[in-house]
């Protein structure tokens, strides 16, 4: 169970108090009524699902109620940063290197791909 730092409560809390809200930094077009089908598709449907760092939204729904953003490594589930809604994406250090010697099957399988 994840431990998530809420930037409003300024404390780490159990995942049970939170709800994930999908990808972050996807702004709703201000001219929504006018955008093309392709723009709508990109805005509403298309997501990257990266292996590695993802910027995502969380809501501290059973806490302060606020939405905020997080940068999380989808492989290790490590939170690199959490920050308040409306704040820009933080600049992250270079992506962590994949460990050189890995012995579990999962890692071997990943390498084989």
**DSSP annotation of 91:** P
Q: Is 108 in the site for another protein (CB under 8 A)?
A: yes
Interacting positions 49-78 with another protein (CB under 8 A): 57, 59, 61-67, 76-77
Q: Is 80 in the site for another protein (CB under 8 A)?
A: no
110 three-state secondary structure: helix
Identify the CA nearest to 85 among candidates 7, 2, 28, 31.
Answer: 7
Whole-number Å distance between alpha carbons of 89 and 68: 11
Nearest residue (CB) to another protein, 8 versus 83: 8
Following DSSP, what letter does each residue of 42-53 receive, concatenated? IIII-----SSE
- Please answer whether residues 81 and 49 qualify as being in contact, where contact means their C-beta atoms are separated by less than 8 angstroms: no
Binding part of the chain for another protein, among 48-56, 89-97, 105-113 by CB under 8 A, reads 105-113
Nearest residue (CB) to another protein, 50 versus 87: 87
Residue in the block written with tokens 């939405």? 67
Residues contributing to the site for another protein (CB under 8 A):
1-3, 8-11, 13-17, 19, 21, 27-28, 32-33, 35, 37, 40, 44, 57, 59, 61-67, 76-77, 85-86, 99, 101-109
């Amino acid at each position: 169970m994840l431990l998530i730092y809420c930037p409003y409560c300024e404390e780490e809390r159990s995942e049970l108090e939170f709800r994930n809200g999908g990808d972050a930094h996807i702004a709703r077009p201000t001219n929504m009524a006018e955008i093309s089908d392709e723009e709508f598709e990109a805005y509403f449907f298309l997501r990257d699902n990266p292996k590695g760092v993802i910027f995502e939204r969380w809501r501290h729904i059973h806490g302060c109620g606020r939405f905020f953003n997080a940068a999380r490594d989808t492989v290790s589930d490590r939170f690199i940063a959490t920050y308040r809604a409306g704040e820009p994406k933080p600049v992250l250090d270079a992506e962590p290197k994949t460990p050189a010697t890995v012995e579990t099957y999962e890692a071997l399988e990943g390498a084989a791909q």
